[in-house]
Chain A
Amino acid sequence: MKGLVLSTLVAAVAAACAGGAGGSRPPLREVGPNELRSPNDFAGIEDEAERSRALFVEAGRVLKHARCVNCHPAGDVPHQRESLELHDPPVVRGPDDHGVVGMECTSCHQDKNQWQTRVPGAPKWALAPLEMAWVGKSLGQICEQLKDTKRNGGKTLAEIVQHTAHDPLVAWGWDPGADRQPAPGTQAQFGALVEAWVAAGAHCPEEEAR
């Protein structure tokens, strides 16, 4: 029930923020909370900019997921679990987003999840730099940030697509280990959505969308 409500809400939000076309677009296919729509599900949106915005809102279900947003904090402390709890033990960002001596990310996090201890791990475990903070930002703000080479690590949109589809740390979002809820869909589906968003002009949803 909760899943149905959520997916309906997501569809409504997607429609609302892609909006402005008088509500004439076809309704989106309903999906469960763990599923992602594919780019084909948006093919019925004729206006390219509107389609691009709707694709980003769908990709945003991954971007805003706890597995992703927890390490894109707006401050110096990462989050954990499902509700933006502060990381325990208390770690700080440090000078290069890898913690401080004695409390570096890799003091505990390994190159893969540790099933014995539940400690999550993946290659290149680190915080996203502060200019890539997502916590507290609207999806529109995150979208503009992703396109801004001053705030996206100097990446072109093509490199953003590659990053979302293939980066091994991004991949952890779908293989988080222990009892953590994975991001919806798959990394390949997420990458396809971002690729389709770029192909349709990389338009950003309205700031108030979320």
Chain B
Amino acid sequence: MSIKLRVNGVERTLDVDPEMPLLWAIRDALGLTGTKYGCGEALCGACTVHLDDQPVRSCVTPVRRAVGRAVTTIEGLSPDGKHPLQQAWVELGVPQCGYCQAGQLMTAAALLKAKPKPTDDEIDQSMAGNLCRCGTYTRIRAGIRKVAGGQP
């Protein structure tokens, strides 16, 4: 079935099952492999992308839900990989193995867009669904604080 999507600002037409998880449409059909498969059950956040401005777990989101909405993946977060969060991530050495970091960044970016000056509690509540097996949580929080204008 033909599905029209707008991904990172580009109109794309895919021939996929409307119930296909958005993650597979992004990775397999479009070749955008920055978004990662983690648990496949919306429990880890590695697959987080934006539908319009809302972070969603693409592993459990049927591709039909994205029709008519703007899909943003880590590749589209900034044109040159220099979103303030990405710069802070590099500066503070946030990524370790890096596998979860695309999801972490997508959630953090949505948080700062909705709440430019989040409290620590708000950071923790919004980031609670993005797991990191390297344990980079304190660095993630520092990166968000840095971009929000506070001390890392």
Binding site for B on A (CB under 8 A): 88-92, 100-104, 106-108, 110-111, 114, 116-119
Contact = CB atoms under 8 A, between A and B. Distances in A.
Contacts, number: 67
Contacts of B90: none
Given A88-B43, A101-B114, A110-B61, 4 more contacts: A89-B43, A89-B128, A103-B128, A119-B60
Contacts of A103: 125-126, 128-129
B41 interface: yes
Given A89-B129, A90-B128, A107-B55, A101 B115 contact: yes
Nearest to B55: A102
B107 A102 contact: yes
Contacts of B111: 101-102
B21 A116 contact: yes
29 contacts: A89-B42, A89-B43, A89-B45, A89-B129, A90-B128, A91-B129, A100-B122, A100-B125, A100-B126, A101-B126, A102-B108, A102-B127, A103-B128, A104-B54, A106-B56, A107-B54, A107-B55, A107-B56, A107-B129, A108-B57, A108-B60, A110-B62, A110-B65, A116-B21, A117-B40, A117-B41, A118-B41, A119-B42, A119-B60
Interface residues of B, number: 29
Interface string B125-144: 11111100000000000000
Nearest to A108: B42
Contacts of A117: 40-42, 59-60
Interface of B: 21, 40-43, 45, 48, 54-57, 59-62, 65, 107-108, 110-111, 114-115, 122, 125-130
Nearest to B128: A90
A111 B56 CA distance: 13
A117 to B, nearest CB: 5
A28 B12 CA distance: 62
B30 to A, nearest CB: 20
Contacts of A116: 21, 60
Nearest to A92: B125
B41 A119 contact: yes
B44 to A, nearest CB: 8
A104 B114 CA distance: 13
A114 B45 CA distance: 17
A164 B54 CA distance: 30
Most buried by B among A106, A108, A119: A108
Contacts of A114: 60, 62
Contacts of B127: 102
A111 B60 CA distance: 11
A91 B128 contact: yes
A194 B40 CA distance: 40
B69 to A, nearest CB: 12
Contact of B57 (A92, A101, A107): A107
A61 B15 CA distance: 46
B60 A110 contact: yes
Most buried by A among B61, B122, B125: B125
